[in-house]
Amino acid sequence: MIRPSDRLQDDEGDAQAARLRKVWANPGGWRYWTSVNNTQIGLWYAATAFIFLLFAGVLALIMRAQLAVPGNDLISADFYSQAFTLHGTVMMFLFAVPIFEAVAIFLLPPMLGARELPFPRLGAFGFWSFLLGGIFVCGSIFFDAAPSSGWFMYPPLATDENLSGIGADIWLLGLSFIEVASIAAAVELIVGIMKCRAPGMRINLMPLFAWYLLIVAGMILFAFPPLIAGDILFELQRMFDWPFFDPARGGDPLLWQHLFWIFGHPEVYIIFLPSIALMAMIVPTFAQRPIVGYSWIVLAAVGTGFLSFGLWVHHMFATGLPQISLAFFSAASEAVAIPTAVQIFVFIATMLAGRVIPSTPMLFGMGGIIIFVIGGLTGVMVAVAPFDWQAHDTYFIVAHLHYVLIGGMLFPVIAGIYYYYPLIDAKHLSDRLGRIAFWLMFAGFNVSFFPMHLTGLLGMPRRVFTYPDDVGWNGLNLISTLGAFVFAAGISLVVLDVLRPKHRQRRGEQNPWNAGTLEWISEPKENWGVRSIPFVASRYPLWDQPALARQIGEGRWYLPDAEEGRREGLVTSVLDARPEQVLRVGGTSYVTIISALSLGAVFVALTFKWWIATMVAATVCFCAIVYWLWTGTAEIPEKAEKEVGVGLTLPLYTSGPPSVGWWAMFITMVGDSTAFASLVFGYFFYWTIHDDFTAGVIGPGMKWPLLSAALFVAAWLMVLMARHLNGRGSIILTRAVLAVGVVLAVVASTAGFAGPWQYGMDPRAHVYAAIVWLLTAWTLVHAATGAVMLAYCLARHFAGRLTKDHDMDIGNVALYWHFMAITAVVTFIVIGLFPEVL
Amino acid sequence: MLVGCQGVQSALDPAGAEARAISTLFVAMVLTGGAVWLGVASILWFAMRQGRAVVAEQSASRLIFWGGAVFPSVTLITLLGYAFWLMPSLRPFATASEAALRIEVTGRQYWWQVAYHRSGPPILAANEIRLPVGSRIEFSLKSDDVIHSFWIPSLGGKMDMIPGRANRLSLLADKPGVFRGACAEYCGSSHALMALTAVVMEPAAFDAWLMTEAKASINAGGEGGALFVHHGCGSCHRVAGTEASGTLGPDLSHLGSRQMLAAGIIANTEDNIARFIAAPDAIKPGANMPAFSMLPQEDIRAIAVWLKRLE
């Protein structure tokens, strides 16, 4: 058992605390907005997501008002289309996913006993991207230019310029931008959870919230890239008329549906699991005992994550797929109900094995479960293909999905707000208002959505701006509208409770609910996360290690000081959380905002086809990112090691798998490869749906693609050799080999380009040519990135920032090139060999 | 309760074999699901109660196993067994050669093009489908523009109409009557206004109707018909027995015998026909037909009167 250091003299401790406070302080005045601290970023993120929720909620009320009576002409058909498209889009992309990222950024570091997430600037970058992309997408409705093809954007409706207008581009580009931010957040969260836990917090001692977030961030990594791949196909068709979804030229609208739902179904669980994670923190606190069935719930969450990738076809039961696929996906969809049931029964078991303290968070939590179970049961029904043939695209589904998302997500999130609000400034929300808000929301929700089950089965399709007088839907719709306004009143009350001034309220104690997990020792008035980083030996350290909170507060654990004036945290090993390194994280900076804004400008300019502006913004973005990397990463510390307290000395620099940078690169490239795999899936999808996939269009030949693949392998070998030579300290040779690597990458790219170019493949003529060009282009863009990375290493080497002992850059670039080599080989074998040889 | 489920577009008031089987399936699932929900809600209510005895951790763990894993597994396997037993019987397809009557429906923004294929040339119509009671009819479902979905809830489930594909569906109506269908896949601004009338008839009456439908209307001649052709309506619409043979818009042969107008959304009256000719967009936003309000009022009226008489 590791013991804390002895207590310091008061003045010495105060001096430490003062230094620590200064290092972690936010800048004042308007420069406050350049903060990168997880507490600020988390709060901004959450507030922004909530504003988007209210915006999308208002759209829903307008739609409900329109549907209150048959034949209503309150709003036009076109506005209605924009409203329901934005409602779905905003709720999914701008509220449900970001709110969990916000909560995670805010809560994870204190919960894990960490000072910060490993890449605070990346977190800030993600927030600014989200804000900009969100305003861009939402703002469009004020110019009557919002997307109007539904949040699922099915082609050909959404690829047809005349039918969908600029709204579709706003959707595609605005959301791609936000997806990039989401993936950035996912990388940050995964690395944070794996590498930045407090010493001793082995993976089986992690708070359940961290487990869930790890799973969800992993799901984002595999779910969002297929959508990004789909977005690329989509935008290429809209901008340059590459016929990916045009059946007249070999394309197929169904490919989009596959890619969209391979993303779309995991998305539901990406939204749902973090809310269950909040419940998994709240329920033990109010049952005043550890969770019953920790392993059960972790396994169930992992199982849900895996299964969620095998269900997407249940959104396509009416597209005419063979019965055998329907049966398979019916069964898989039913199977996911089992881990879900396990999770709910874990909560029930925990409550039964304790005594439940009544409270507003529990009220919202349990109300949510009551609602969610109905949504789950109707989900079991619609997973049965024949029933779905009737229910699909009717109000029955509208009811089902709102029962799932509002019961499984919104109610738990509000429970979380009531539970965690004291962490913001040690004050609490009103129990009375909370209770009234709950009953308004609970009653309003059920009055609004329960009748929709019946409305749907009586034949009312979704996404209709009006309905006839004589089909028997009038009364049900009117009830739904009334309920919606009651529900909205409940939400308004929650907003009121959060916003109402509370300066007269006394600051409360530190851990008002007597919870057992570490986030409750964080002091709202301090920005440093934890005063000192503890050694954790239990799942509920505040219950099981009673002296811990005091010891942490007295600065008796790790890193209680900031002698060098740097923001520091601990990096620990993935499974056992053995301390490995002191990590210096980036502080306040403009570069994150500039990078986010310029990247946003690229997407906005692309939407309007302002090519010059696109190029300018891309150049600014490129320079900002290089500057950010150059000044903010792989910094060589002034000394090799540092004493971190409690008799432990740790290195200040690591490279390779122990370092957070290596993990970030690895995780990013896994996501990138998933997008690539989706494009290759597209290639073979076209192959399987056509008798002759190439339709007689001439291919890129074998010679150029195979030559290119060989050259890329050679370039990859150069990278490996450069890493090896650098490790041996051969300065000249390292530089020479790096330079050869850059040249080889360029030559290999030229060879890759030569194939489709020499044979005159026209990507607008047929989908075969288009997908060959696309795979080639994907590889060439990655090769260009790889070449830039090598040039960057070369420059760092000349600048003395990449040396024999400080080789993080070359290590990470080599990792990139492993993926690069696989991408190139797969691309050129697929396009070079498949249509020719097979 | 049962009264509330009735209607011309209700999946719970079946008039076809598939709708009937699915409606029974639904009732079974609702009863089971309701019981499950009551069970979970009661346990939750009990768990929240103040002053109850604390359950031992061992028993609580067992509850996770039995309630969370075993019970749902058994229930779901039973349900899947039911579903897999049901599925093959719902949509049997005749081999290509033996299908006596095949109806091809093509989704267009925002209407339905219908062709009855029997021996002989196909019989063309639009926006209304007639079926003989008691025999299984095969549908071939296509689209010319965007994705639509063909759905007559009283008879059975829906099937998408996807450009570049031909989906098959088979329906067996077992009760005569007039039913309402709708496009179920969002297809543009007037998606809400893309409905369909389905008339299920006694076989003899159906045969007689189809015979009439195959021929030109007896009222195809006359002044209205001449105006129809003169103003160019025929470049988009077809009327059997006249020069008008366009295929861009709905086939208007025998329009007078149809129950509804403009794809199932307004009553088939002379006034409504005239209104639609003058300003289609006012009735159906985004419709492809241009407004003909520049035509003389009396010409519009004459064409409307003529169209209404095409039986």
CB contact under 8 A, B22 and A353: no
Residues of B in contact with A358 (CB under 8 A): 48, 50
A320 → closest Cβ in B87, B165, B187: B165
CATH number of B223-309: 2.60.40.420
Q: Are A406 and A335 a contacting pair, CB within 8 Å?
A: no
Strands B102-108 vs B111-117: parallel, antiparallel or unpaired: antiparallel
B21-50: per-residue pLDDT in tens? Answer: 999 999 999 999 999 999 999 999 999 999
In terms of C-beta distances under 8 Å and separation of at least 24 residues, what long-range contacts does A440-443 make, across chains too? A440/A486, A440/A487, A440/A489, A440/A490, A440/A493, A441/A367, A441/A411, A441/A414, A441/A487, A441/A490, A441/A491, A441/A494, A442/A367, A442/A371, A442/A490, A443/A483, A443/A486
Interface test with B, best of A464, A470, A474 (most B CBs within 10 A): A464
DSSP per-residue string spanning A238-274: HHH---TT-GGGT--HHHHHHHHHHHHHHHHHHHHHH
Strands B136-143 vs B102-108: parallel, antiparallel or unpaired: parallel
CB contact under 8 A, B192 and A319: no
d(CA A418, CA A233): 43
d(CA A602, CA A119): 24
Residue A530, SS3 per DSSP = coil
CB contact under 8 A, B185 and A370: no
pLDDT, chain A, mean? 95
DSSP per-residue string spanning B113-143: EEEEESSSSPEEEESEEEEETTSEEEEEEEE
Q: Which two tokens stand for residue B156?
A: 């059975």
Q: Which residue of A has its CA nearest to B169?
A: A320
Is residue B94 over pLDDT 70?
no
What was the ipTM of the complex prediction?
0.97
Residue B180 parent element (H or E): strand B177-183
* A513 at B interface, C-beta within 8 A: no
Residue B292, SS3 per DSSP = coil
Which residue shows structure tokens 């969809």? A333
Neighbours of A543 (CB within 10 A): 18
Residues of A in contact with B4 (CB under 8 A): 454, 472
A798 closest CA partner among A755, A720, A735, A743: A735
CB contact under 8 A, B64 and A342: yes
Interface test with A, best of B13, B44, B77, B139 (most A CBs within 10 A): B44
Q: Which residue of A has its CA nearest to B71?
A: A338
* A690 at B interface, C-beta within 8 A: no
**Which parts of chain A sit beneath pLDDT 70?**
836-838
> Phi and psi of A27, rounded to 5°?
-65, 155
Cross-strand partners of B113:
B106, B126
Q: Which residue of B has its CA nearest to A343?
A: B68
* B73 at A interface, C-beta within 8 A: yes
Residue B72 parent element (H or E): helix B71-90
Domain ranges within chain A, ordered by starting residue: 44-499, 674-837
A395 closest CA partner among A473, A333, A456: A456
Q: What share of chain A is helix, strand, coil (3-state, %, to 5)?
A: 70, 5, 30
Mean pLDDT for B70-83 is 96
Distances in Å between the alpha carbon of A581 and those of A533, A573, A575, A649, B262? 13, 9, 15, 9, 73
* A781 at B interface, C-beta within 8 A: no
* A350 at B interface, C-beta within 8 A: yes
Q: What top-level class would CATH report for the domain A674-837?
A: mainly alpha
Q: How far is CA A448 from the centre of its chain?
A: 30
* A450 at B interface, C-beta within 8 A: no
A178 closest CA partner among A229, A135, A222, A148: A135
Residue A572 parent element (H or E): strand A568-572
Q: What pLDDT shows up at residue B1?
A: 45
Give the homologous superfamily in CATH for domain A44-499: Cytochrome c oxidase-like, subunit I domain (1.20.210.10)
Interface test with A, best of B79, B160, B180, B288 (most A CBs within 10 A): B160
C-alpha angle with apex B182: A446 to A146, nearest 5 degrees?
70
DSSP per-residue string spanning A638-680: SSSEEEEETTEEEES---STTSHHHHHHHHHHHHHHHHHHHHH
Q: What pLDDT shows up at residue B98?
A: 59
Q: Are A567 and A608 a contacting pair, CB within 8 Å?
A: no
Residues of B in contact with A689 (CB under 8 A): none
* A463 at B interface, C-beta within 8 A: yes
Residues of B in contact with A471 (CB under 8 A): 7-9, 180
Domain ranges within chain B, ordered by starting residue: 8-90, 223-309
A382 closest CA partner among B240, B22, B189, B115: B22
Q: What pLDDT shows up at residue A28?
A: 87
Q: How many helices (H) and strands (E) does chain A have?
A: 27, 4
Counting one residue from chain A and one from chain B, the pairs whose CB atoms sit within 8 A come to 262
* A319 at B interface, C-beta within 8 A: yes
* B21 at A interface, C-beta within 8 A: yes
Residue A94, SS3 per DSSP = helix
CB contact under 8 A, B146 and A459: no
